[in-house]
Structure formats: C-alpha cells, structure tokens
A and B are shown apart, each in its own frame.
Chain A
C-alpha cells in the first residue's frame, strides 16, 4: 500500500514533465491560429496589412469582443446569455429616443431632454436592468439560463420595435438649444488615430481581466462554474455572484448599443440581430468551456480577433459570403474538438 501511495504522485509528476510544450501549444492554440490566419492574409493579400483595413477590422472586432467580455463572465458561471443582441438593439432605441424625443411627462405637460452624458448613463442602466432581469430569472426562479435569456431575447427585441413603432430614430445629432449635442462623437472620435471603440474595448478587456483574476468576485465566478455546490459550502453567495455576471453582460451589451448607434448616427430597432452567436463563438474560440469554470477574458479577445481576421480576410480575398459562413462554422467546431482533445490529454496526465 505504501508503494502505491508514493507511486501515484510520482507518475503525475512524470506527466507534467512530459507535456510542457504540448500543454503550452494547446493553451495558446487560439493565439497560434490567429497568427497563422494573420500571416496567411498578410502574404496573400495586398490590402490586408494597410493601416486603414486593420483599423476597420479592429473596429468590427471591438463590437464582438465587448459583447464577448460580458458573455465570458456568464459562461464562466455555467450559464449563457442569448439576449445580448436584442439588448444592443433595445439600448440603441433607448438612446435614440432620449436624444430625439426626450422623456415626456404628460401630467406636467413637459418634455425633459438630458445632457448626452446622462443619456448614455441612463442607457447603460437600462442594459444592466435587463441583465439583472436575466439574473433574477436564473437565480431566483431557477429558469435554465438558455430559456431565460431566450425569453429576454424576444422581449427586448419586441420592446426595441415598440419604442418607435418599428421605425428608426434618424439623425441623432441633438439640438444645441436643448443642450444635448455631441452623441455622434462616440462613434467618430479618435485618440492617437484610433477610434474610441477600440480604446473602449481595450479598457474593458483590461478591467475585466483584473476583475476575473484579481478580485474575490472573479475567483468566485470560476468556483461557481466549476462546482456550484462546493462553492456554496465554501461560503460563496452563489445567487448574488451569478446575478452580477448577468448584469455585467447587460452592461457590455448597452456599451455596444451606444457605440453602434453613435457610429450610424441613427437607431434601428433591428440592430444587433444574431450578435449573441458571434459573441458566443468568440468566447468558445478563446478556449472558455461552455460548461463553466474554465476560460479567460484574454482568450475571448483573441477569439473575437480570429473571427474578425477570418471574415475581413475572406472579404478582401473575395470569398463568397455564403462560403464565409460555412468556414466560420467549421473553425468554431474545430476549436471545440481541439478543446476536448486537450481535456482528455489532461485527464490522462492526472492518472
């Protein structure tokens, strides 16, 4: 018996000795895929590496990446948020309405217009409120996350359409007399020649990484996704933490809603359709496990770039958009297969 107890750790150690290169390659697979894709298009296409194209690419990636950040928190808890695309649309309509119509208070016969900063703040609150609604459904009423957020997907899209009877809010430049001008600046403004949206993505990514790795909240998110019961018995307030994850996702959706509306200088109720699928794809490509507990924000950002580079490169190369869709699907499935392989490899090393 003594022989066996000492043997087990020894073989585990041998396993670790054997695999560092394999393990590192596996862990960096999304990054490696990104470099390969990037290199491929850089070589085969003349216009891919042009600064303009790279900025356009990154602007597109930013939308997906910001949604992916919120989605990562939710998926880490073992949930999923299908409502993000609709929340983008709803928040767009909220900000559009607030700028063009203000808030009408019929009982006083007045219309209140807010400063753009307050408008944006209120919109973020709406996004967070929808996230909190999802969170309450999941934690308080034990609705499966897939179903809860599917319901919210419909509700939020419906509300976006209701807001202006299915019409858009055009020309969101505000009125100097009402003191609510300046909203388009969010979409067009630049720092160091880079659009605001890219800076916002970078800032959110850094902040989210900090939250995920350096705060008790982040650590508890991972614990809940890994083993909810063990987390609960360790004193983690599972319901509160899970709810906050959905609020974060709602916040990120609202940010994207603001950015897109500002870039278009108008709010369309259909904006954001199927964005949730791109966000989930980015998260999965980044190595986050859909069953929760494993994954990183950095991975999601890389995942978003993989999708972005792939799509951008294929467009430049003139690949038909139908084929683009097929290829994106294949890449996602490959990523998950590799993820499973890594799992099996790790398990074997343990034994």
Chain B
C-alpha cells in the first residue's frame, strides 16, 4: 500500500479578484498526523474545504488511493471517507447533542422514524471515548463553547473516516480537553485514520504532528517530516522573507500624543475575574503607525470594539487628543471626536451591500454634505470624486453597487468612508484580509501617506510579515494582555511569536 493516502496535485482555486490557491501540492500520509500551517489567508481553509467537498477547485487533480476524485458536496466527500471538523462550530444550538451528532445520518426505523434511544446510546459512547460526561439529550445551546467543540469532534468520529480534517480543533478547548483530544488522535492513528491538523498553536503541532506542510499566500512553501524541523524553521517558513513590502522608517517626526489608553478592562461575559481585555494601557502619537500582533482570541478585536464604544460597560480610561472619551459615549459621538474603525469583516461590518459605491463612502459623514436641510449632490459628488482619485479606486461609475468591485477596491471604499469623517485616529482591523498582493501594497502605501499627514494609525494583524512591514512600533497581545512592546527596529519575528503565545499553557512542552 502507498504511504500517501491522498495526493493533491497542482490545485488552483480562483475566487473573483483573488487566487486563493496557486498550484498547491499537498500529501496526506496514511495513518499520520499531517499538520498544515500558514498565516491567515495563506489558503489552508480553502484547501481543506476543497478536500471536504464544500468548495470545488478551479484546476488540478485530487488522487485518493491513486484514484482521481472531485467531491462536489460534503456528502460526496463523506462517502469517500473524508470528514472535517470546521473551525467555526457548525452545530444546531436548538437540537440535542445526540441529534447534532447524527444530523443527516439518523439511525432510523424504515428510513422514517428516528430511533432516539439508539442514537443517544451511541452518542453517549462517543462522548465517553472523549471522556466528556455530557448527557446526549442536552441542548447544544446549553453547553459551553469547549463542550460544543467536543460535540463537533464526536460528530466527526461518529462516521468511519479514512481521512479526518481538523481545522483549529483546540481553539476553544482547555488544556485537559486538549490532552484528551490528543489521546483520541493517537487512537485514531493506531486504527489507520489519516489526520490533517490545522492550528495556529505551533507548540501543539510540535507535540502531535508527524508531517508538516507550510502554505504561504496560496502557495506551497515546504513539506517535511516533523522530526527534522523545529519551531524556528516553522516560523521562518510561515513568514518567509518576502521583500515585496519592507519597512522603511518614516521620514516625518511624530506629533503630539493622540491617543492614551489606561487600564482598559473588559470582563468576559458571565465570568468574574476573566478578562477579554486585561488592564491594557498604551499610547499613540500623531503620525505614528502602531501594529498590534496576536493570535486569534488575543483580544485585538475587543480592544478596537471597546475603543469605538461597542462595550460601554468596559473599565479604564481613554483620551483622544487630550480629551477624555466617556465610556458611555456612543459610536457616532466618538466618530465626531475623531476616531474611526475600519472593521475586520468587510462584508459583514464594513459595507452595506445594497447601497452604491458612493452611498457607502458617504455613509459615516452625511452631515458634512448638508446644504440647509438636504443633502447636496454637488458636495457629495465632489467628495466622492476626490477620494476615488486620492485612493485610486477602480470604479467605472460610483453609482454602481458596491458588490461590483473587487475585494481590494471594496476595502479602499471602506477606507474612504473612514477618511471622509476627518479622523485623527484610524483603527484598522486586519486591513488587508482577503485582498490580493497588489491591493495590499496599495493599502500599505495609503497608510504611510495618512501617517505622513499626521493621522495616528493602529492596525491589527495576525500576519507577522504585515506587522513587520508597516508598524513603527509593535504591541503584542495574548490572552487580553499586552505581553510585549517593541519599536520596529528592535523587533524580531522570533520575539513576536514568543510573546504572542505567553499564557498558552502548552508552550513549554513543545519548545
């Protein structure tokens, strides 16, 4: 029998406007744990969705045991023995644990009536294997996130799979639960199941993986047996030494302090003494670009949301340009005092898909275009045209729907909307997510230009390369705290990665 159960050859996936995967080769070794790593947007999830039949590749070949396959639906992939545990929980909160585990694979009497008793017995067995005493009749909604993730894993185990894909399976698990999961993985390996394991937690990979494959910007960078590599090698291959955008220190001097944050604290809902933001303090000067680096769940998004006023119950103090911002101040008041957020999720939070390009751009600053009591088309047009030119937005007609633009240009529209509010401080949450390399470079040059004009910019990124390329100063967050602060010139990739996993319990065991 061949060592390699599944061979992906030259897989290419093109979305409108971006190439998510570019001729990627990927091997899954039989009965091994195959780690797949890469930064956000490297194409890991896309590749896994293709294997699981959720997405279809544009070009390439998939060989399962030497036979060509092209799964068109998750059901088809399952029948081929490929299962997946998704990063986002795909459970039905309104149904019981047992019903979730058997969703679309119900144990029935004559194909019509569900045998609930039998399903529950089987579910209880699966949960026992995962050492979780969860009653199979409990509604999923009543479980905490970690337990939900266990149910998701039990669901995948309930079907006999040759290949099991786990996309960030431990993101919500506690240390002891992770250990149980690792034991189950060892069991599965012994039974000959091949596992694809995706995680940002590099220490976990060192512990469990047999083979490691690194993706970067939709391309395969390296593949190696785990025993031949170490953490340093992984980080270096992930980050690469792409010189397309490299840091150049700003030629302008920084101005006065524009933002000061003291002891910003946000409690985890429903828990005492557990923080999403744990006494965060820092400051920012006009013209300065500060990058915040951190893993998923480090508290980066919560920091921005709190600054924008989405969490009025947060504790601590915020000063904007010397003026104190009340915690109770609503978003529109904060925008007027000069801060503006460019959200992480462009589709869900940045843009109104039913509006035109120009209406999206003007949405946050409508007051400025009033002539007496109505909106002046002339003023609107002048501002829209100015920003389209300034940011080089490619649009044939600003009256077109926003969805007719490519990802990069949509992002520029979000930036334009923010700039039209005349901000002093820009908060950019993953400003280059999901846009192609050319557009990334353009967004970067826009950021530099704005800093030169005296704006303070804070941006968040999970991509080390980006933080290293753009920030004058870098803050690292982990578990809601700032774990390191360094100027760009003294920062190293190694130091950033190490600071970003402070507080993650497993770090010591791997390195």
Contacts and interface: CB of A to CB of B under 8 A. Distances in A.
B374 A215 contact: yes
Interface residues of B, number: 48
A140 interface: no
Given A8-B17, A222-B352, A235 B331 contact: yes
A229 B349 contact: yes
A1 interface: yes
A220 B366 contact: yes
B363 interface: yes
Given A1-B436, A230-B350, A294-B354, A235 B364 contact: yes
A235 B332 contact: yes
B353 interface: yes
B367 interface: yes
Q: Chain A interface residue count: which class?
A: 35 or more
Q: Which of A2, A214, A234, A346 is most buried by chain B, counting CB atoms within 10 A of its CB?
A: A234
Contacts of B439: 5
A344 interface: no
B16 A219 contact: no
A299 to B, nearest CB: 14
Contacts of A219: 359, 362-363, 366, 375
Contacts of A346: 401
Interface string B138-151: 00000000000000
Interface in A227-247: 227, 229-237
Interface stretch (A9-17, A35-43, A55-63, A315-323): A9-17
B343 interface: yes
A97 interface: no
Given A216-B375, A219-B362, A293-B354, A233 B349 contact: yes
A346 B400 CA distance: 11
A4 B14 contact: yes
Contacts, number: 113
Interface string B342-373: 01000011111111000100111011001001
A223 interface: yes
Given A227-B348, A234-B417, A237-B332, A222 B400 contact: no
B438 interface: yes
A230 B406 contact: no
Interface string A330-351: 0000000000000000110111
Given A225-B354, A226-B354, A9 B406 contact: yes
B247 to A, nearest CB: 23
Contacts of A229: 348-349
Interface in B395-420: 396, 400-401, 403-406, 408-409, 417
A234 B363 contact: yes
Interface in B113-146: none
B216 to A, nearest CB: 13
A199 interface: no
A interface majority secondary structure = helix
Nearest to B366: A216
B335 interface: yes
B330 interface: yes
B23 to A, nearest CB: 12
Contacts of A293: 352, 354-355
Given A2-B438, A5-B438, A215-B374, A223 B19 contact: no
A1 B438 contact: yes
B301 interface: no
A292 B355 CA distance: 11
B352 A230 contact: yes
Interface string A51-94: 00000000000000000000000000000000000000000000
A230 B351 contact: yes
A342 B355 CA distance: 16
A42 B401 CA distance: 39
A235 B335 contact: yes
Contacts of A234: 335, 363-364, 417
Contacts of B351: 227, 230
Contacts of B348: 227, 229-230
Nearest to A211: B374
A233 B331 contact: yes
B319 to A, nearest CB: 20
Interface in B417-458: 417, 421, 436-439
A16 B354 contact: no
Interface of A: 1-2, 4-5, 8-9, 12-13, 16, 210, 214-216, 219-220, 222-223, 225-227, 229-237, 289, 292-294, 346-347, 349-351
Given A5-B17, A225-B354, A349-B404, 19 more contacts: A4-B18, A4-B436, A9-B409, A16-B396, A214-B374, A214-B375, A222-B354, A223-B363, A226-B354, A231-B363, A232-B331, A233-B341, A236-B363, A292-B354, A293-B352, A294-B354, A347-B403, A350-B404, A351-B16
23 contacts: A1-B438, A4-B18, A5-B17, A8-B406, A9-B396, A16-B396, A215-B373, A215-B374, A216-B366, A216-B375, A219-B362, A220-B363, A226-B352, A226-B355, A227-B349, A229-B348, A231-B352, A233-B331, A235-B335, A235-B364, A289-B354, A294-B354, A350-B404
Interface of B: 14, 16-19, 22, 308, 330-332, 335-336, 341, 343, 348-355, 359, 362-364, 366-367, 370, 373-375, 394, 396, 400-401, 403-406, 408-409, 417, 421, 436-439
A-B pairs with lowest CB-CB distance, top 8: A226-B354, A293-B354, A226-B352, A235-B332, A216-B366, A234-B364, A235-B335, A214-B374
